[in-house]
Amino acid sequence: MSRRGVEDLIGETPLVALRRVSEGCRVPVLVKCEHLNPGGSGKDRIARAIVDDAEARGVLRPGDTLVEATAGNTGVGLALMAASRGYRLLCVMPAKMSEEKRSALRALGAEVVITENAPPGDPRNFQGVARRIAAERPRHFLTDQFRNPANPRAHEETTGPEIWRQCAGRVGAFVAGAGTGGTITGVGRFLKQMNPQVRIVLADPRGSRLAGLLGHAPLTDGGAYLLEGIGSSEVPMVLDPSVIDEAEVVDDRESFAMTRRLVSEEGLLVGGSSGTAVVAALRIAREGRVDGPVVAVLADGWDRYRSRIFDDAWMALVP
C-alpha cells in the first residue's frame, strides 16, 4: 500500500482542453488545473517551496509560527505545510476577501487578522501588517510570498516543466494573472528558455494598474474591482517584467461570466481569476497569432467564491 503524505500530492496537475467556451478559436486552448492541488490552488507549490527554503537555511524551527499576507490561497497552502511539519500559522487578509476564505483558514487552525483595504505603503495594508507582526513577535517567521524568490522558483522548477512536457514541447502562449507575480514569472522564465517565441501574456483585471505599469496598457490611476487574488497598484517584487510580452485587460463582469461558464459548460469548478485568464486566452487563440496551443492557468477552486460569483443576487450588483 502506498503511504503518501499530503505534500506528495502537490503538483503534476492535469492539462485539459476547453471544448465549448473555445468555439471559434484558431488554436486550441488548454487549461492547467491548479485548483486540483490538495489545498485547492497553485499556491500549494510556493508554500512548500518557501518552507523548504527556510528550513534549508536554518531560519525556521518546529513550533515556530508562519506569518503571511494572503488573499487566502497561500494561507491554505501554508496551513497544509504547518499541519504536516509542526508549525503554527497566522494569516493577514484584506477585508475584501470572501468569508469562505476566512472561515477555511480558521478551520485549518490559522489565526486570521483582517485589515482594511489599504494601498501598498499604507501602514494598514495587509503586507505591512504582516511584516510588523513577524518583527514584533518572537518565533514568528515571515514567509513573505510577495518578496520571496522561492515563490517564482517553485513555478520555474515544477509548473513550467510540467506544462512543457504535457504539451510535448509545443506551446504558443501562456496566460496567467499576477497577484505576487510568481506564477507568470516562474513559468515564463522556463518556457522562454525552452522556446523564446512563446508568448507570455498577463491577464489583468480592469482597475488594476499592473498592465499599465509594465507598459502593456494605458497607464491609469486604477480603480475599484471585485476580482480577488490578482492585480495590483504596484509591480510586485518577485515579478520579472522582462518575461511578459503583452497584457489583456478584463473587466469583472466578463471574468465572472466566464467563471460560471467554465463550471456549467466545461465542468471545471474554478474561481474568478480563472475566468480572467481564460477570457484573455480566448482572445489570443481567436487571433491565431501564435504557433501552438494557448495555455491558461486555473488558479483556484469555486468553493472560495460561492457566496459571491455563484450567487445571483451578488452578481446582479456587479457593474
Q: Contact 120/12 with Cβ under 8 angstroms? A: no
Q: What is the DSSP letter of 118?
A: P
Q: Left, alpha or beta for 248 (phi > 0: left; psi -120 to 50: alpha)?
A: beta
Please pick, among 32, 43, 101, 192, the residue that the annotation labels catalytic.
43
**Element spanning 31, H or E:** strand 29-33
Q: Which three cell numbers stand for residue 243?
A: 518575461
Q: What are phi and psi of 41, to 5 degrees?
A: -160, 170
Task: Report CA 160 to chain centroid distance, whole Å.
Answer: 14
Q: Is 43 a catalytic residue?
A: yes
Grid coordinates given for 132: 510588523
Closest of 297, 319, 115 to residue 207, by C-alpha: 319
Q: How many CB atoms lie within 10 A of CB 62?
A: 8
Determine contact, residues 115/95, Cβ cutoff 8 Å.
Answer: yes
Active site amino acids: 43
